[in-house]
Amino acid sequence: MPIDDITATLPLVDHHCHGLFPADLDDERLADSLSEAFAPAPPGTSHWDKPVALSVRRRCAPVLDLEPFCAPAAYAERRRAIGAVAVNRRFLAASGIGTYIVDSGNRPEELCSVSEVGAIAGAPAREIVRMESVAERVAESGMSAGGFARAFEAALRGSLGEGVGGLKSILAYRATLRIDYGKPSDAEVETAAGRWLAEIEETGTVRLTDPVLERHLIWTGADIARERGFPIQFHIGIGDPDIELHRVDPSHLTPWIKAVEPWGFPITLLHCYPFHREAGLMAENFPQVYFDVGFALNWMGPSYQRIMDEALELVPFTKQLFSTDAFGLAELYYMGALRFRTALARALGRWVEDDECSVAEAERIAAMIGVENARRIYKV
């Protein structure tokens, strides 16, 4: 097989993505979907003037029968002319992704469901349950502080239908990773829950950020992950303005990873940029740790190659995963898969050129990272 083709037909397992926008997007909504800011672009600028948007114009325009680098307005118009349903089908088919593992907990009201992703793609789709979303639903439902811990666990267990393949924590966004990781006592959880419920009462806003409650979530999640033998995913590194980067270095998780290591369930570190080197070393050091650089590959537009190269530096071939982290825009599933295939084939191709790897080994490595590692730990 020519080395450039070793990733071309892999039925990738996208171990971390979200649902699709089911309806058409006006110009503004489309532009905002290309930004991690919570704000419009500053006066005199446009959200289209960034790497990921340049790549949408180059790589996605032809999928919609447009010329590369067409104007943003033409792109937005053509997208609506084809219609969201057909656009979603086209990009997902073009992605060649074989299995979708979908986080169902982020802004679900804007997105199609997990099973709809599967239906659009004509491929298996599994669900990841976001623990903070479950806890926030429980808190909203009217609850005493003393009942919170049990109600959360019951709701979390109740959410684990047949298609559920793992849990997710967005601790990084909330209490940050820079916390103590001891398991809180029942009394501590009750006190923290009381504070939180009073805050909800007062502000009308339901947003879990308390470190004690977050610790309760991940320790409860660990119990379940141990029973089921499935992964817990952690958001790491790069994100929106709610992130303070110095608080989301994955190595802050080390004490917790060591504490739950005997339980054996996989821990998958998502995105990781600019801490992907740290994540790779943690995957070397701890048998149950895995990581991906999916979001970054997509979001960097033309600069994706270096991130894959750096991700491959140290990590065992058995511990890296593929993801798109696509959210809403069908373009991001397609482009995430394209970037991953190109970058991995090139990186391994250079190893072969440099006489550091055989083609047979390169094929084996590509299959592990793109498909087999995720199949093994998510049991898909």
Residue numbers 335-354 binding a copy of itself by CB under 8 A:
351, 354
Closer CB to a copy of itself, residue 147 or residue 274? 274
Q: Minimal distance in Å, beta carbon 29 to a copy of itself?
A: 18
CB closer to a copy of itself out of 89 and 271: 271
Would you tell me how many other CB atoms lie within 10 Å of the CB of residue 204?
A: 7
Cβ nearer to a copy of itself, comparing 65 with 309: 309
Provide the sign of the torsion angle of the four alpha carbons 258, 262, 263, 269, taken in this order. Answer: positive
Tell me the C-alpha to C-alpha distance, in Å, between residue 213 and each of 184, 235, 254, 295: 8, 17, 19, 27
Gap between the terminal Cα atoms of the chain: 27
**The only residue of 54, 82, 145, 164 in contact with a copy of itself, by rule CB under 8 A:** 54
Instruction: State yes or no: residue 285 binds a copy of itself (CB under 8 A).
Output: yes
Whether the Cβ atoms of residue 165 and residue 101 lie closer than 8 Å to each other: yes
Nearer to a copy of itself, 49 or 65 (CB): 49
User: Binding segment for a copy of itself among 152-160, 188-196, 215-223, 285-293 (CB under 8 A)?
Assistant: 285-293
E-assigned strand segments in the chain: 12-17, 97-103, 125-130, 164-169, 232-236, 267-271, 289-291
CB of 39 to a copy of itself, least distance (A): 5
Q: Find the largest Cα–Cα distance for the chain.
A: 65
Nearest 5 degrees, angle CA 26-CA 20-CA 69? 55
368 binds a copy of itself (CB under 8 A): yes
CA separation for the pair 216, 236 (Å, rounded): 19
Given the rule CB under 8 A, which of 2-10, 82-90, 139-147, 273-281 is the region that contacts a copy of itself? 273-281
CB 11 → a copy of itself: shortest distance, Å? 19
Per-residue binding string, a copy of itself, 8-27, x by CB under 8 A, is --------------------
Q: Which of 158, 168, 166 is nearest to 133 (CA)?
A: 168
Q: Give the nearest distance from C-beta 353 to a copy of itself in angstroms.
A: 10
> Rg of the Cα trace of the chain?
21
Task: Report d(CA 175, CA 235) in Å as an integer.
Answer: 12
Select from 83, 227, 284, 379 the one that contacts a copy of itself (CB under 8 A): 284
Q: Does 106 bind a copy of itself (CB under 8 A)?
A: no
Q: Looking at residues 313 to 332 of the shown chain, list those that interact with a copy of itself (rule: CB under 8 A).
A: 313-319
Q: In this chain, which stretch among 72-80, 97-105, 188-196, 300-308 interacts with a copy of itself, using CB under 8 A?
A: 300-308
Binding status of residue 180 toward a copy of itself by CB under 8 A: no
d(C-alpha 260, C-alpha 256), whole Å: 6
Contact between 255 and a copy of itself (CB under 8 A)?
yes
Does position 205 bind a copy of itself by CB under 8 A?
Answer: no
Residues 222-251 that bind a copy of itself (CB under 8 A): 238, 240-241, 243-247, 249, 251
Among 27, 223, 310, 363, binds a copy of itself (CB under 8 A): 310
Q: Report if residue 124 touches a copy of itself, rule: CB under 8 A.
A: no
320 DSSP assignment: B
**Rounded CA gap, 62 and 68, in Å?**
6
Measured CA to CA, the distance from residue 185 to residue 189 in angstroms comes to 6
| In the complex, minimum distance from the CB of residue 12 to a copy of itself, in angstroms, rounded to a whole number | 19
In the chain, count H helices and then E strands: 16, 7
